[in-house]
Amino acid sequence: MSKFKKKTNTATSIPTSALPDIIFMLLFFFMVTTVLREQTILVEQKIPQATQLQKLQKKTLISYIYIGKPKNPSLYGSEPRVQANDVLITAPDIVQWVNQERDMLPEADRGLITISLKVDKDVKMGPISDVQTELRNADARRVLYASTGKIYQD
């Protein structure tokens, strides 16, 4: 009568002998992609979202500046601060920091140094414009506003 007869007697167990290999493959993937963080970030970082993201080809040219409210307000206060490398700095120190970063690059690439501004969502434009003014003074004019991808609505 019906074509759909219940098949019985088939082996229902999935072969698990290849499981370790699959897990190892995953493991290697994550081992390769992992970047162990070499800095502790002292400021809050909730990166804003945007749609028009661009990716830079040469990662060595990027230096990072973190801006946000300090995570430890009892030590550093509650106003947004600027972090470069491992320490919180004030705006006038940025020129010196940029020059240090630039000296680490090969001579041919020094003009192409890009500063990635990792700015917390809640920061106001005031501190950011101060940082940008200093970057202009240091002649490091390529700036990347770090942001994460947003899903399109339309």
**Residue ranges in contact with another protein by CB under 8 A:** 19-20, 23-24, 26-27, 30-31, 33-37, 48, 50-57, 59, 62, 79, 114, 116-117, 119-126, 128-129, 132-133, 135-137, 139, 141-149
Q: For residues 10 and 16, which CB has a smaller minimum distance to another protein in the complex? A: 16
Instruction: Mention every residue, 6+ apart, whose C-beta is less than 8 A from residue 85.
Output: 39, 97
Residue type, 115: I
Q: Return the bridge partners of 67, or none.
A: 82, 119
Shortest CB 20 distance to another protein, Å: 4
Q: For residues 93 and 142, which CB has a smaller minimum distance to another protein in the complex? A: 142
Task: Check the CA dihedral 29-32-33-36 and report its sign.
Answer: positive
Q: For residues 2 and 153, which CB has a smaller minimum distance to another protein in the complex? A: 153
Shortest CB 6 distance to another protein, Å: 33
Q: How would you list the strands of the sheet with 62-68, edge to edge?
A: 87-89, 81-84, 62-68, 114-119
Shortest CB 74 distance to another protein, Å: 20
The structure tokens listed for 26 are 């995953």
Q: For residues 3 and 127, which CB has a smaller minimum distance to another protein in the complex? A: 127
